[in-house]
Amino acid sequence: MRAQLEQDFERFKRGLPRDFAAHVRAAYRIDLTGRYAGEPLPHPIGKGSGQLSLNAGQLEEDAAAGLAFVVLKTVIAEDETGAQAMAAWAIHETRMRVERRAASDGRPGWTVTWKGRGWDRTLDEYLALVRAGRDVTRAGGPLVVPSVKYHLPRLDEPFRDAEYRHTTGRLAQAWGAPPLLVEKDFSPTLAGDALADDRAQILRWLREVPGRIRAASPLPVRVAVKLMNARFDDAFQLDMMRAASEADALVCFNRLFDAERGVAYGGWDLSDRNLRVLDRLTPGASPRFPALVGTGNICSGRLMLDYARRGCESVELHSFFQLPLSQYPATHGSRTQRALHALLFAPEDGLIAGMLALAARGELERRDGELHFLDLRAHAHRPG
């Protein structure tokens, strides 16, 4: 299998097979099936919300590359009059800068820096993108998920339910058929906002928002909550996860915040913290706990395995899809295709190599002759 993997790695530099998940299953007896908020995926690799998912052309390119899911750029919720409590987040993005960022221990890594925030066009334009995503999904392409920033009140204020009703209702109408999936974005840049100074305030949001989105939707809806890295200790990250236990999935965790530069960032410090927090999860009293989606500095299949072995059923990437072309071993294809090639087929640190190594050490067992990506959760320190 090592020889097969090296051969595939070389020949797929010019392009991946159209159904590479089927090829992996046939050649390596590995079932790459993942999940996002209960929805099955052909493999676990998706794209997080941002500048790489704000038009139909990007969705079509990702469908051609074979991506499993795409979370759209985050729209700012509004009521029927067009008023937005979180209007300050509808800021036009500056150009993204792909930068080297060393970890605190000196390891070289990458981050992507920009100053913008959410969708800065109209809700009608966003709904047109949602309909395009719906068509891509129903044509057999990646699962497309809208992302929303809803009103987050101060501790002594009520929620603006009119925003929840109007925006969620319009999204449901655009999607058309159940289930509607929504990712609620707790933006990383919120860490630089005074709203995020109060722990009780944050925990209230996380407890109440999933239910408010469900109550606002005319369709059955599954809610994924994208958790920020708060400016508090690791224990508070766990408090946030427990507070959001009514969500269908938790995306753990969005970027760190550099107060000096006023920007969010990624790299090894981000993945180190995320994995450290996930390591601290222990079986709790509640039998129900949201599914986990990993995010943060996922730059190799081995790092995907680190998240999977802590309970994550899929992963969201952003920065790794934007590196200079020289950083990918593939010689042809879009950045999405080249990233998938490296993440899956790299003989030293790709996902296939990592799963085969776990099996060789007796840490992952075959069922009916196959290794299963979702079986990696058995190594996680969490319920189920």
Q: Do the beta carbons of residue 308 and residue 382 sit within 8 Å?
A: no
In this prediction, residue 270 has a pLDDT band, given cuts at 50, 70 and 90, of very high
b/e per residue 315-333 (b: at least 16 CB within 10 A): bbbbbbbbbeeeebebeeb
- Residue spans of alpha helices (H) in the chain: 2-11, 20-28, 56-65, 123-138, 161-175, 199-216, 234-243, 268-279, 301-308, 335-345, 351-360
More confidently predicted of 380 and 58? 58
In this prediction, residue 285 has a pLDDT band, given cuts at 50, 70 and 90, of very low
Strands 221-226 and 34-36: unpaired
94: pLDDT strictly greater than 60: no
Strand partners, 223: 182
Counting Cβ atoms within 10 Å, is residue 375 exposed (0-12), middle (13-18) or buried (19+)?
middle
Give, as one character, the DSSP assignment of residue 212. H
378: pLDDT strictly greater than 70: yes
286: pLDDT strictly greater than 50: no
Q: Kindly state the average pLDDT of the residues 104-120.
A: 80
Q: Kindly state the average pLDDT of the residues 304-327.
A: 95
Name the maximum alpha-carbon separation found in the chain.
63
264: pLDDT strictly greater than 80: no
Which tens digit of pLDDT belongs to each residue from 217-255? 999 999 999 998 988 889 999 999 999 999 999 999 988
Which tens digit of pLDDT belongs to each residue from 166-224? 999 999 999 999 999 999 988 644 545 666 678 899 999 999 999 999 999 999 999 99
3-state DSSP assignment of residue 197: helix
Token output for 145: 């998920």
318: pLDDT strictly greater than 60: yes
Q: How far is CA 327 from CA 207, 258, 283, in A?
A: 41, 25, 40
The predicted pLDDT at position 383 comes to: 43
CA distance 363 to 383: 19
In this prediction, residue 89 has a pLDDT band, given cuts at 50, 70 and 90, of confident
The predicted pLDDT at position 343 comes to: 98
Token output for 224: 């994924």
Q: Kindly state the average pLDDT of the residues 27-50.
A: 97
In this prediction, residue 97 has a pLDDT band, given cuts at 50, 70 and 90, of confident
The predicted pLDDT at position 101 comes to: 84
**DSSP letters along 90-124, please?**
--PPPPPEEEE---TT----EEEE----S--S-HH
3-state DSSP assignment of residue 233: coil
Distance of alpha carbon 144 from its chain centroid, rounded? 12
| Averaged confidence pLDDT in the chain | 90
Q: Do the beta carbons of residue 371 and residue 364 sit within 8 Å?
A: yes
**DSSP letters along 316-345, please?**
EESGGGSS-GGGSS--SS-HHHHHHHHHHH
The predicted pLDDT at position 88 comes to: 74
**Percent above pLDDT 70 for the chain:** 92
Specify the pTM.
0.94
The predicted pLDDT at position 295 comes to: 95
Q: How far is CA 209 from CA 24, 95, 146, 290, 356, in A?
A: 39, 31, 16, 14, 41
CA distance 9 to 80: 52
CA distance 328 to 340: 10
